[in-house]
Amino acid sequence: MTREKTASKVPPGANPDAENAELRERLGADPLVWTDAMLAALKSGVKGGKWFSLKDKVYRRRTLLRAWHIVNGRGGSGGVDRLSLKQYESQLDQRLASLEGKLKTGRYEPKPVKRVFIPKPGGKEKRPLGIPTVEDRIVQTALQLVIGPIFEIGFNAHSYGFRPKRGCKDALREVGGLLRKGHEWIVDADLKSYFDTIDHGKLMSLVRAKVADGLVLDLLESYLKQGLINELKEWEPTEKGTPQGAVISPLLANLYLNELDHLLRDRGHEMIRYADDFVILSRTREEAEDALELTRQWTDGRGLVLHPEKTRLVTHREGFEFLGYRFENGNRYVRQKSLTKLRGTLRPKTKRTKGKSMKAIIEDINPVLIGWFGYYKHAHKNTFVWMDGWVRMRLRSILRKRHGRKGRGRGLDHHRYPNKYFAEMGLFSLERAHREACQSR
């Protein structure tokens, strides 16, 4: 009798296991953390719209172990406690048991984030990088595994940053599609210091709308208030923003902007967002102006600031930049900053004083070129022709110096060391790869 009633509720031809697998993949719901019963509750909705009793999912051993494997797979250095991944792994069972106990009894407290400054490729500027301790990264990853799907299910389809099965290429593809459909006006927006200006109170109210577990809320608030230690010398409290470098930050940052995603979509605007980088594509100037005004009103009410100089209305003919590309008059180019970054990465590998053999140098730079092409392969072909020439010039300059000649590899060096010479040495050609990619479409 019971079996007949249950069976009658399942639509003919439906495959619950396949549906659950698809939902897990879309939401990033790890099967070691999210049971079928939890997944069913996520689909149907929980009572009152809030999730209680999540803490045991966070601190149970299999969640922490799963989180450890994710953290270890990502690599990275130790935080303020100077404990490396290798050192943590050497006593993994004992450390995870201790961590489980501290979380269970409320004795766990995150340590300050180590802030270091690393050089930006292609220049003398430096950017700050926050490095939490290994243990803090494990707990944040465990939190992400537990609460991520709760918020993910409500995120807008046109937000692509740091989400399961989504990425830059999906966002770029959608932008290209809208341009081809006649969306000629673009709101090229820039949020000034977004990650540093998120209001903690407003952010936590968004979290509390879905999560009511005290331990989870306390952990999230403790990470938001985590201090910074500059080069292990100076401690600074944090009153605003999400800690950059923290595992949990992308989820919280997406949550903060999710309301704007839905607001613009509900008003008929085509907004494409990747983390805090977004563009709004419109068919007319009036539509674009309305979208910009809506965005400005919303950000003003959330304590965010649209950069006065970098936020603008443009046409597709004037061009705009998004996720490393420059879209202009129907073409897609690599933006200058991205080219500068690539050259900055290759320069130390192709110094004229490099002591390696030419073959070894080429083996060193090929992975960089291949990886770069994998992302920028949809750019205009002229970019690849020019970049190939620049790389070969650097290599000819090395050979020129080795033969006692000064200056860059130009002029007669093209005859001494023709393109064919470098091709036979195995140098990856961006132009050839682009041509082959176009032929295979």
pLDDT digits (tens, 9 = 90+) for 7-66: 334 445 556 678 889 999 999 999 999 999 999 999 999 988 999 999 999 999 999 999
Confirm whether 84 is domain-assigned. yes
Confirm whether 304 is domain-assigned. no
In the DSSP assignment, the letter for residue 268 is T
Indicate if the pLDDT at residue 148 is higher than 70: yes
Indicate if the pLDDT at residue 313 is higher than 70: yes
Residue 353 pLDDT: 86
Query: Are 207 and 79 within one domain?
Result: yes
Sign of CA dihedral 152, 155, 160, 162: negative
Query: Are 116 and 224 within one domain?
Result: yes
Confirm whether 278 is domain-assigned. no
Report the percent of the chain where pLDDT is more than 90. Answer: 74
The domain total for the chain is: 2
Indicate if the pLDDT at residue 162 is higher than 90: yes
Q: How many helices (H) and strands (E) does the chain have?
A: 20, 11
Query: Are 57 and 160 within one domain?
Result: yes
Q: Which one of 216, 231, 249 terminates a domain?
A: 249
Q: Which one of 179, 214, 249 terminates a domain?
A: 249
Single-letter residue type at 354: K
Please provide the average confidence, as pLDDT, over all residues in the chain: 89
Q: Give me the domain span that covers residue 415.
A: 335-440
Closest CA to 144 of 163, 161, 167: 163
**Residue 419 in tokens:** 């393109």
Confirm whether 6 is domain-assigned. no
Confirm whether 293 is domain-assigned. no
Query: Are 75 and 224 within one domain?
Result: yes
Query: Are 101 and 205 within one domain?
Result: yes
Residue 9 pLDDT: 43
Indicate if the pLDDT at residue 172 is higher than 50: yes
pTM of the model: 0.85
Query: Are 244 and 356 within one domain?
Result: no
Indicate if the pLDDT at residue 239 is higher than 70: no
The residues with which 273 forms a beta bridge, in sequence order, are 159, 278
- In sequence order, what E strands does 249-392 have? 270-274, 277-282, 312-315, 320-322, 325-328, 331-334
Confirm whether 219 is domain-assigned. yes
Confirm whether 358 is domain-assigned. yes
Query: Are 224 and 339 within one domain?
Result: no
Indicate if the pLDDT at residue 411 is higher than 70: yes
Are the beta carbons of 368 and 346 closer than 8 angstroms?
A: yes
Q: How far apart are CA 279 and CA 320, in angstroms?
A: 9
Top-ranked range on mean pLDDT: pick from 17-26, 108-117, 241-250, 321-330: 321-330
Q: How far apart are CA 273 and CA 135, in angstroms?
A: 31
Confirm whether 172 is domain-assigned. no
pLDDT (tens digit per residue) in 241-299: 555 567 898 999 999 999 999 999 999 999 999 999 999 999 999 999 999 999 999 99
